[in-house]
Every structure is written in C-alpha cells, then in structure tokens.
Chain A
Amino acid sequence: MSFFSEALWVLLLGSLLGLELIGKVPPTLHTPLMSGANAISGITMLAALTLIIKSGDNLPLLIIGSISLGFALFNVIGGFLVTDRMLAMFSRKKTRK
C-alpha cells in the first residue's frame, strides 16, 4: 500500500506543479506550447519500455510493448522536432534584428 499512497502524493503535487507552471502565456506561444506539452505526454514510452523488459519471452506481450513504444516515440520525437521547427522561426527573427 505504501507505493499507492506515495504515488497519490506524487500525483497531487505533480498536478499542482503543472497548474503553477503555466501562468500567463502569450497567444504567440499557444501552438508551440501545446505541441511541446504533447511531446512530453509521450513519456508513456517509459511504461512501454518497462513492459517490454518485464515480459520475458512472452511474444504477444513483446509485440504489444514494441508497438506501444513505437507510438510513444512517434509522439515524442515528432513532437519535439515540430516544436523546435516552430520556435526556430521566432528565434531566427530575433537574431536578425
């Protein structure tokens, strides 16, 4: 039961942290922020990794885990790259000024 109660604390504090982190966001950054946060939500790749590692020689489970990992990494890598592409346009403008 200790993991569960600890995990609930973690959930609570994490949520409060998330609420605090985003205060005032300029409209310019709505799209990049959404896509960046979206990339972070691909953190389920850790769960997929854990699943694969603990599945031993269970082939169906290995496959499910691998597909799950693929989806998560599609989310993570695509998300970060696309965010960077968008943000690059803002910073490029800045250096030219």
Chain B
Amino acid sequence: MTFIAPVKFAIDLLAVLLLALGIKGLSKVRSAREANRLAAIAMLLAAFGVLLNSQGTIGISIDSWIWIICGTLIGGLLGAFTAKKVPMTAMPEIVALFNGCGGMSSLLVALGVALFPSSEGSDGVVSELVRNFSIVVSLFVGAITFSGSIVAMAKLQGWLSTPSWTQSKARHFFNIFCAVLALIGGVYLSIDGQNGLFLVVVASCLLGIGVTLPIGGADMPVVISLLNSYSGVAAAAAGFVVGSQLLIVAGAMVGAAGLILTQVMCDGMNRSLVSVLFGGALGASSVASGGGGGEYTNITSCSPEECALTLEAAERVVIVPGYGLAVAQAQHTLREVTRVLESADIEVTYAIHPVAGRMPGHMNVLLAEADVPYEQLKEMDVINPEFPATDVVLVLGANDVVNPQAKNDQTSPLYGMPVLDVQEARTVFVVKRGMSAGYSGIKNDLFDLQNTSMVFGDAKKVLGDLLLELKELGVGSKG
C-alpha cells in the first residue's frame, strides 16, 4: 500500500513522457516508426499501472478479471485482425472506424458512471456538480465522435450518399435543434445526475450525424482529423469522470495535436475549417446549382499504343496519380513503366495533390509501397509552374484534382479549390475506366480540351499494355 502509490505515479509520469515523445516523433519521417512503438509501449505501461495500483489498494475481484480479459481479447483481436486485413486503399475509412470506437468507449464509461453513481471512480474527491458536468461532456463529445465517425466511414465506403436536404438551410436548423436539446439534457444531468441522460446521448448522436452527413468529397479527411481531435477531448473528459490525470493529459495532448493537424490539412487545401464544416459538400450542390454540368462535346480517345509512341518522344513526363490508381492497385505496374521511361533518359516526376488518394499523405504511402523514390514526388505548389515545360502528363485515375473548372468557372462548385494545372502541358493522357464523373460528381472540362486524350480502361490493365508497347518500341533497352 505504501510503496504502490509512488510506483503508480512513476509509471504514469513515464507513460506521459513516452506518449509526448511518441507524438513528437510521429511528425518526422525518420523517427515515425519508433515513435509509434514508443506510444504503444506507453499505453501498455499505463494499463499496467492502473492494474497494479488497483490490485494493491482495493484489489481486483475475479469477476472483474474475467470481464477485463473478455473485453481485451475481443476488442484487441478484432482490432489486430482489422488492421492486418484492411487494404491500404481503405485507410481513411478505417481510421474513421477506429476513431468512432474510441469515442464510443468514452461514452460508455460516462454512461456507466451516470447509471450507477455508487461506482464513482474518484472516491468522492470530485464534487458532484463537477462529476456530473464531466459526465455530460464525456457523453456529448463521445457521442458526436462516434456517430460522426461512423457516418464518415459509411460515406467514404459509398454506403451513404449526401441527401439533398442536408444541402439546404434545413440542416442548420436540425443541427441547432439537436444542440439545444443536448444542452437542455446536459443542464438537467449536471444538476441531478439522472434525468436527461438519454436526451444528451440521443441528441448528441443526431448532432454528429447532422454535422457530418452534408460534408463530402475532398473535405472528408479534414472532418476525420477533427473528429480525431474530439476523441481526445472525450478521453480527457472521461479522465475527469474517473479521476485519472494520466487520461486527462493524454486526451488533452491528442485533442490539441489533432486540432493543429486539422489546421495544417485545411491550409494544404486552401480551405478554412469553417467553410469545411458549414459550407456544404462540393458534390451534392452541383446537382442543385447545375453549374459545371453539361455534356462532353470533344472527347478524343486513343489506345495504349498511341500513348506509348507519344511517351517515347517525350523528354519530361509528369505522372498525376489519383484514387483510381489506388483502387486498381496499379502502383507497382506504374513503377515498372516509369523505370522503363527513366532508363530511356526521360525525366519522370509525380505530381501529388494535397488530397490525392482521398486523404493527405495517402498517395505518398501507396507510392512508397511501390518503391517510388521520395524525391520524385512533387507537391502541387512546386509542380504547377513546371507544367508548361512538360511534354506528357499521365493522369491515372485522378479527376477532380485536375479539373480546370476550379480556376476558370466561377459558377462551378469546385471553384476555388486548388488544382494541378495539367492542361498547360503539351499532351495530356487521362487513364480512366469510363466517362463517369469523379468523387464530386462534376463534369471535368479537361477531357474536352484539344490536347487531352482519354485512354479508357482499368489503370492496371492500361499500364500493363503500355509497358508491353514501350518494350516493343525498344524504349530504354539501348541504355
């Protein structure tokens, strides 16, 4: 009893230190992997600290052990299985799913303490009002995180579309209504600790849905990042509920770091957080406004053979990888094609749009998987001035990020979004499965341009054919 408290304290301090170093290290390429492990070790230590302290002071009953082991095994195994099985292309969805579960966990803790006040974790050190208020915050933020993340995941998976009512003013009334209901429930619950409990939970869940549902397209990762920050806040609130300072520190760190990351992402897309949250989806509004609609009039399509001939004569080639490339899992075939081109002294670079692959950094991960040298990846601001001096641009399964409408057409829902100026290049090849619209559902003016040719087909198959054609032409074989 006497020595356990200091030991627990030391473990907590060590865990916080490791967590902080972990978050710090995760923001540098060199140290990221070790930092991730460090954070994992910190979590293990923290859990050990709680178990040790409880065993030493009040003791842990057999029943408790059984339920701890059940929860650990089921949650842990499912998590490990999901993490191993999920394809790299589905990364945004899976982060949203994990995040939602973290929020749910905070919600359940607060729910448990609220339903059975006798089990209050902090042993009376927290006054009733503070405790109730902490419960309300934990329920509120946890519920928003959970429902918002699940909606985000469903939308990214394509299970949910954007209902038209969410694009009208009605959604603001709906959200304000839910927020007011949650507030009323929260006030009740803060005062007497019983009433208003389920009002808070239900209204907060609806609010999470109402806020997330209208957001679509390229803005989704920002929302996930924001919800990630919320789950940190929820954890901190749960820390107040059970009286754990370690939880408060860790939750606050994640909450603040998540907020910064969200801001960094917004900067990258040249959007403000407010316009992401309240500006409405890019996609669904195009249907209503009609801006950017219309038929294609001047489509030129060509075979991989013609594409190969043009590539052979080129000196500078820029690859624009997009989500289609990721879906077709064509990054390895792409790497082979670029190897052939490079061996023929053709300069190859990759233009990475900030949201290529639906999540910042997602495309970098996929190309790294295919062994593409890091130096060849160019960010949008760097590559855009270089397009006029480029012979061939190969657009692989990207659409909205190369739509010139974003610059030229003020009525377009895409207007103002930063895009890659591929139309400045001499020739543009767009590899695409068909004429269907991109994620935003908007017509792409690029396809109608004189210097654009469409190569229809699955990215992997087209690149495979291209590779054969290039080899037949003898490209790169001399060098």
Contact = CB atoms under 8 A, between A and B. Distances in A.
Contacts of A91: 33
A74 B71 CA distance: 10
Contacts of A34: 95, 221, 224-225, 228, 258, 261
A3 B374 CA distance: 49
Interface stretch (B114-122, B210-218, B270-278, B299-307): B114-122
Given A37-B26, A37-B254, A7 B248 contact: yes
Contacts of A45: 43, 47, 105
Given A33-B26, A81-B79, A38 B119 contact: no
A24 B64 CA distance: 44
Given A34-B261, A43-B46, A81-B80, A68 B112 contact: yes
Contact of A71 (B75, B369, B371): B75
Interface in B364-382: 364-365, 368-369, 371, 373-374, 377, 379
A86 to B, nearest CB: 5
Contact of B20 (A21, A26, A60, A79): A21
Interface stretch (B123-131, B191-199, B342-350, B449-457): B123-131
Contacts of B98: 35, 38-39, 42, 74-75, 78-79, 82
Interface string A71-96: 11111111111111111111101001
Contacts of B154: none
Contacts of B78: 70, 74, 78
B203 interface: no
Contact of B36 (A54, A65, A83): A83
Contact of B260 (A19, A40, A66, A72): A19
A3 B257 CA distance: 25
Contacts of B224: 34
B75 A36 contact: no
A76 B45 CA distance: 13
Contact of A42 (B20, B102, B108): B102
Interface string B64-105: 100110111011101110111010100110110011011011
Interface stretch (B321-329, B353-361, B434-442): B353-361
Contacts of B234: 41, 44
A25 B235 contact: no
B238 interface: yes
Given A30-B261, A35-B98, A49 B47 contact: yes
Contacts of A85: 83-84, 88
Interface of A: 1-4, 6-7, 10-19, 21-58, 60-91, 93, 96
Interface of B: 19-20, 22-24, 26-29, 32-33, 35-37, 39-40, 43, 46-47, 50-51, 54, 58, 60-61, 63-64, 67-68, 70-72, 74-76, 78-80, 82-84, 86, 88, 91-92, 94-95, 98-99, 101-102, 104-106, 108-109, 111-113, 115-116, 119-122, 125-127, 130, 221, 224-225, 228, 231-232, 234-236, 238-261, 264-265, 268, 352, 354, 359-362, 364-365, 368-369, 371, 373-374, 377, 379
10 contacts: A21-B253, A22-B260, A28-B377, A32-B26, A40-B19, A47-B109, A52-B68, A77-B76, A89-B365, A93-B368
Given A32-B36, A47-B106, 6 more contacts: A14-B249, A22-B27, A41-B102, A47-B242, A63-B67, A82-B86
